[in-house]
Amino acid sequence: MTDATLARPVEAEARLRAKNQLTLPEAIAEALDARPHDVLVFEADPREPGSARVHLVKHEFAGSMTGTYGTSEDVITFVREEHAAWAE
């Protein structure tokens, strides 16, 4: 990742293919410092239709704390409840 990449927003286009597949554009992969086997988490918020956030989970960290905070469903429920509380 270069300093120039960090100094400005990076925008790139990718087309959704059959079976909901897409190729991560090189410019975005470089900006995220993404490597093969890293995990990308997509988050869509119904309050922002047509947009999504992407979060990078480095391969070496993926699953490293599995079970620490309960099951995946426990964590999802907790996060959703916390997120809902922010709107109150």
User: What pLDDT digit, counting tens, does each position of 35-71 carry?
Assistant: 998 888 899 999 999 999 998 888 766 566 677 777 8
User: What pLDDT sits at residue 78?
Assistant: 85
Asked if residue 55 lies in contact with residue 44, where contact means CB atoms within 8 angstroms, the answer is no
Q: Using CA atoms, how far apart are residues 59 and 74, in angstroms rounded to an integer?
A: 23
Q: What is the DSSP letter of 73?
A: H
User: What pLDDT sits at residue 71?
Assistant: 81
Asked if residue 13 lies in contact with residue 28, where contact means CB atoms within 8 angstroms, the answer is no
Q: What is the DSSP letter of 24?
A: P
The pair of structure tokens assigned to 83 is 């997120």
16's CB contacts (< 8 A; 6+ apart) are 22
At 4, the pLDDT band (50, 70, 90 cuts) reads: very low
